[in-house]
Structure 1
């Protein structure tokens, strides 16, 4: 559907930002007003040229009725890192739905990403039925967990514990390096520059968090860190709400969770785990961690098949003709996808010696970080291979040495 001629689409200017903040709060139910520090930090991370706004010129005041923008981010992929646009702050006013506004916003941004030669784009989707039609596929998943009593770990505690509580200053100095090392281990982690770290610390100011929560607590290990809040909203004992656990090594993961799973005078401990996190298998009681919800996090769109597939390494070798259906972009076609020694070469035209595999572009995004098995997509008719053996070989190439994780919710 083409948008109405009264709708004007253009890059943002500084004068648009008060309405941009208001529209975002209205669309996503943000009930706490952003103060000047937060607004300045948000605006500093997104250039006006990376924002598309829609205004209705036929209405009084030409109100802003739609917006979409992106962060310029860098993400870890198996064997390296890749710069990508992180789509965010996407909304259409309730008064202007089903008028082609969303499609026009994203079409303009995708054209800009193509001009800038980005191999992939990504977003956190607010709804599960919108973004597949724009080429995005769910690539990573997480679990909300609940621990209702103190839990012991199978692995004996070390004689000299290496976990300590840290000050905000200690955390600000040491955490960024640990986080970057963590990104080298887990694919899918978005790197944080100084503005992102400032935003993380700003988020713990008393004015920016619920009044029932205490100051953020910081646990540091030489190879990891964890942060959490104590919250007094629960009747009786306080609840611990874990924000982040970053562990470069299995040992750091174990020792951080040894503390987090057995906090004193806490009624419940809640947090999130990436699917594939080994915590439950480290506990004496496997059922000590209850999964209360599981949901998608990062969605990935492959914009350039050759650029995306050659940007990462692979677990095994294969030589296939990969046929990609891309009804909304320009990435569709037939490719020879050849992996030798874990490195890929991709050429147009096909002629792979192992056979043919086909998929839609959103399914290729789902496969990209190893968080979705090609056999699951094949069962849903999203991936098709010439034989079960070829499907198994194709599924194996995406396997990663560590489960994917994200790190930034944008």
Structure 2
């Protein structure tokens, strides 16, 4: 969640001060965010936002005593290849309409970077509503999502046999206890996935009323197998003038057969004629085991989680590596100069070193492009082909891609 309102007459930037927003200032921060986003949420939603902001980094930009900018960073942990790292998640990024182009956003993000580094977080992340804004702060799109639509007016045609173990509808209030351990176990298989607390399950996934479409049903949860081998979280909507809709919010499965069973179930719900899934991974196996791709269509693709490497060395040494690579990287980072310059990356499946060097660079790149590739979802060679990465030693980009490769593409559907 972020917004930078339209330009107004600039004012001197020396009057701005950047500091923590105290707990007593949360309501003022929310009022600023609602002003910027043109929102007037109901009391229940306001309380949820207030509670969400209690346990996070809160950075304010003050012009005298007036709060003119705000951002929050939620204390997430995100999976990376071979492990997980602390990762503040930027949200509620707001600049007052009166203070556009005065360094408010730059100052708040600099303050956030300093706080994250002090707390030992090697990366930060956000969902960007405007791509042009955050690249200049070193964020790169590290995961992507597909929007899928299934014509469910006829049975879903599949090339594989679905798992025939029983399906069970679960009370959403039981989801944190039942699905939480399963999700925790499976999230290590894909980079980019946030750890979900019981509160996150309840207040983000199982909230009864969908804030984007109040015609949708409360969340429905279906599981397969005992113990759980897969689940789907979805909502439904019926109208007299159109086929009923099943909106899939989350689906996880141990095997393709389990996934096939869950997709078959979703496509067979009575009084519906369409399944719509937002934010599915680009390598979703449904796209391969669907027998009729006219029935299962990709209708959109978008960058999802944007990552910023706060500490390049700590980030690179925190992840695992699929193949050996030995290369000198010349990294550009105007916002965090400690990351900039030439470093020798020496990585194997057993570990990684990243140390300063005077040796000639094999590869030159901006920190935003290294961030985009960090989780294994963006090809360095593709960036080089686009003119965004300069390869000085032939084969370096290909070797780095092989080392960064993951079995599954990074993915998250936890928007914040």
| TM-score, length-scaled by structure 2 | 0.89
Q: Distance in 1 between matches of 2:218 and 2:306?
A: 32
| 1:172 equivalent among 167, 173, 176 | 176
Q: Distance in 1 between matches of 2:356 and 2:11?
A: 32
| 1:360 equivalent among 363, 366, 376 | 366
Aligned to 1:341: 349
1:29–1:229 CA distance, 2 compared to 1 (3 A): farther
Aligned to 2:269: 263
1:10 equivalent to 2:6? Answer: no
1:377–1:342 CA distance, 2 compared to 1 (3 A): farther
Aligned to 1:299: 306
| 1:72 equivalent among 57, 70, 75 | 75
| 2:157 equivalent among 152, 155, 170 | 152
1:234–1:276 CA distance, 2 compared to 1 (3 A): farther
Q: Distance in 2 between matches of 1:46 and 1:17?
A: 7
Corresponding residue SS for 2:387: coil
**How many residues of Structure 1 are paired with residues of Structure 2 in the alignment?**
400
* CA shift for structure 1 position 204: 1.5
Q: Distance in 2 between matches of 1:76 and 1:337?
A: 21
1:111–1:172 CA distance, 2 compared to 1 (3 A): closer
Aligned to 2:397: 391
Query: Is 1:13–1:48's contact at 8 Å kept on the other side of the alignment?
Result: no
Aligned to 2:60: 53
Aligned to 2:191: 187
Deviations 1:101-149 (A, max 9, x none): 1111111111112222321111111110001111111111111122223
| 2:88 equivalent among 68, 85, 99 | 85
Q: Distance in 2 between matches of 1:102 and 1:237?
A: 44
Aligned to 2:326: 319
Worse-superposed segment, 288-297 or 304-313: 288-297
Query: Is 1:11–1:48's contact at 8 Å kept on the other side of the alignment?
Result: no
1:286 equivalent to 2:286? Answer: no
Worse-superposed segment, 165-174 or 117-126: 165-174
1:88–1:63 CA distance, 2 compared to 1 (3 A): same
Deviations 1:23-50 (A, max 9, x none): 223333445x1424x4444334434771
Aligned to 1:237: 243
Corresponding residue SS for 1:286: coil
* CA shift for structure 1 position 176: 0.4
* CA shift for structure 1 position 7: 3.3
Aligned to 2:100: 97
Query: Is 2:162–2:259's contact at 8 Å kept on the other side of the alignment?
Result: no
Q: Distance in 2 between matches of 1:51 and 1:320?
A: 38
Query: Is 1:316–1:342's contact at 8 Å kept on the other side of the alignment?
Result: no
1:248–1:332 CA distance, 2 compared to 1 (3 A): farther
Worse-superposed segment, 229-238 or 288-297: 229-238
| TM-score, length-scaled by structure 1 | 0.90
CA RMSD of aligned residues (A): 2.4
Corresponding residue SS for 1:310: helix
| 2:259 equivalent among 243, 253, 265 | 253
Structure 2 unmatched runs, 5+: 1-9
| 1:310 equivalent among 305, 317, 331 | 317
